[in-house]
């Protein structure tokens, strides 16, 4: 961190923005778990189980304005202290460079993926910002680029990533991430109505077991290799012929695809009104072919966001409906290929037992919970033991004088998962309120932030909690 600060001081004369910030605080929970909306979508910084104290330091240098080519970097370090453990981690640590519309970044950096409200959503289905960011190498077009030959009517953005999951995963270690996305916008940026659409593709693949000397061979009889596997990963091409060569490739890879493929297909519409901006969005889930056959078309995230053209009072409100109860249906029939689909078991995977998680937290929507986050199935030993969920969510943001308020609330119905359904469903109500305001008498730019929240229902014992944080710029 010291080297980062010295580097920043050396480039201030070149008008590079440098923002070192120190923060400290703590949190309290009355029960075995932290209230849901105090920990969800916090990029892994809030402990799930215990009261805690924390201290952190961040420093970022952003791009200089007006430069076609430039570089930037940032880091955020944090320590959480609880009664049972102390965790020191880098929430962010990256360096990035841009040339024109393209950016190349290396390291750990906050990001979400999918069409949704970026600040107030319950969480994008596939990547919500719930877990600590993964280390990755990424090539990305961050902002919609409108080619001149299309007259600005159509614009595009996307990314291509290679990443690394945590090393200490049971059974299969050293697992890789492949990620890519492509999104388009129809309508000039100045038009009052614009349409959006696109997809993202995520793959968990690799693992040391696959490349051990005694590992399986590929179709040519030679040992498996990272290079040949990578081709199948990025294309989504099946390893074996129709019907599946499970003798050569194993039940998971041979019958379906190499690795764990999942993602969402998203659409949206934006309408500019005199009073504000309306944004409608829908994220459709795919994981096991059910979306292609229309079996799980009811599953997904449905949202409406309204942002007012105002500087005081209510600034934004978001209403969402989240549903993952279909998962392609119960399946079991063998009459057609479509009927074979079903029981997709979102975010779980037989080859990668920890499923769609990183460092013990779900990467996707936090509304789909792990067995370590609730009291639903304390001994079932299934990572996502609550992945058939129906939830109603509302978020609101307001500014009253210098007091910035954010509310999040949800009513969630847990159905469980196929083979372990809850009849009747188990309900949970969760709410959280955040208050933030500047503290100029401490330091220019200082901010005090306080959160309170509670959970009540059938998922776990009722719990109440809160946290407090003070951040102080150092320059």
- The yes-or-no verdict on residue 427 having pLDDT over 50 is yes
> CA-CA distances (angstroms) from residue 286 to 112, 156, 241, 357, 437?
18, 22, 22, 17, 41
Mean pLDDT of the chain, nearest integer: 87
Residue 242 above 70 pLDDT? no
Q: pLDDT at position 421, please?
A: 84
Confidence of residue 129 (pLDDT cuts 50, 70, 90): very high
- What's the rounded mean pLDDT across residues 98-121? 96
Q: Say which DSSP state 12 is in.
A: G
Burial (Cβ within 10 Å: 0-12, 13-18, ≥19) of residue 13: exposed
- Give the residue-averaged pLDDT of 341-350: 83
pLDDT of residue 411: 98
pLDDT digit string, tens, across residues 86-101: 999 999 999 999 999 9
Q: Per-residue pLDDT tens for 292-310?
A: 777 888 999 999 999 999 9
The two structure tokens encoding residue 294: 């229309």
Does residue 247 have a cis bond before it (omega within 30 degrees)? Answer: no
Tokens of residue 332, six digits? 């079991």
Closest CA to 320 of 304, 297, 296: 304
255-275 pLDDT per residue, tens: 567 889 999 999 999 999 999
The pLDDT of residue 378 = 64
Give the mean pLDDT of 407-429.
91
pLDDT tens across 34-81, in order?
A: 999 999 999 999 998 889 999 999 999 999 988 999 999 999 999 999
What is the rounded distance in angstroms from the CA atom of residue 196 to the CA atom of residue 127?
A: 18
The DSSP output letter for 353 is: T
H/E element holding 171?
none
For the chain, give the percent of residues with pLDDT over 90.
65
Residue-level pLDDT at 6:
34
Q: Does 247 score more than 50 pLDDT?
A: no
């Amino acid at each position: 961190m010291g080297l980062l600060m010295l580097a920043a001081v050396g480039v201030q004369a070149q008008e590079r923005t440098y923002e070192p910030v120190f923060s400290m605080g703590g949190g309290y929970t009355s029960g075995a778990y932290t209230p849901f909306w105090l920990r969800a979508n916090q990029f892994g910084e809030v402990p799930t189980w215990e009261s805690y104290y924390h201290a952190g330091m961040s420093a970022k240098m952003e791009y200089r304005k007006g430069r076609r080519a430039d570089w930037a970097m940032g880091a955020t370090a944090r320590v959480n202290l609880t009664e049972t453990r102390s965790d020191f981690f880098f929430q962010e640590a990256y360096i990035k460079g841009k040339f024109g519309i393209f950016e190349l970044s290396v390291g750990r950096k906050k990001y979400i993926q999918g069409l949704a409200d970026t600040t107030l959503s319950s969480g994008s289905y596939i990547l919500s910002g719930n877990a600590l960011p993964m280390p990755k190498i990424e090539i990305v077009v961050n902002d919609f680029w409108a080619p001149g030959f299309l007259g600005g009517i159509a614009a595009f953005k996307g990314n291509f990533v290679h990443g690394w999951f945590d090393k200490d995963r049971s059974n299969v270690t050293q697992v890789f991430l492949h990620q890519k996305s492509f999104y388009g916008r129809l309508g000039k940026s100045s038009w009052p109505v614009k349409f959006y659409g696109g997809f993202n593709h995520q793959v968990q693949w690799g693992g040391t077991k696959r490349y051990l000397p005694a590992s399986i061979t590929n179709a040519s009889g030679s040992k498996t290799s990272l290079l040949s596997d990578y081709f199948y990963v990025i294309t989504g091409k099946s390893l074996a012929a129709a019907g599946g060569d499970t003798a050569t490739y194993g039940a998971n890879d041979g019958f379906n695809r190499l690795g764990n493929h999942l993602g969402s297909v998203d659409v949206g519409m934006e309408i500019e009104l005199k009073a504000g901006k309306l944004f409608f969005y829908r994220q459709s889930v795919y994981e096991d072919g059910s979306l292609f056959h229309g079996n799980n078309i009811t599953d997904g995230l449905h949202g409406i966001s309204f942002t007012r053209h105002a500087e005081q009072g209510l600034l934004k409100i978001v209403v969402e409906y989240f549903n993952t109860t279909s998962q392609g249906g119960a399946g079991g029939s063998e009459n057609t290929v479509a009927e074979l689909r079903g029981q997709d078991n979102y975010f779980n995977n037989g080859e990668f037992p920890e499923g769609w998680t990183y460092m013990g937290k779900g990467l996707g929507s936090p509304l789909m919970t792990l067995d370590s986050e609730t009291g639903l199935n304390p001994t079932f030993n299934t990572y996502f033991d609550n992945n058939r969920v129906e939830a109603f969510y509302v978020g609101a943001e307001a500014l009253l004088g210098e007091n910035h308020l954010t509310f999040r609330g949800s009513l969630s119905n847990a159905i469980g998962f196929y083979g372990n359904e809850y009849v009747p469903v188990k309900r949970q109500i969760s709410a959280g309120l955040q208050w933030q305001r500047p503290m100029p008498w401490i330091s220019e730019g200082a901010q005090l932030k306080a959160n309170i929240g509670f959970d009540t229902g059938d998922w776990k014992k009722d719990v109440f909690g809160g946290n407090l944080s003070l951040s102080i710029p150092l320059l």
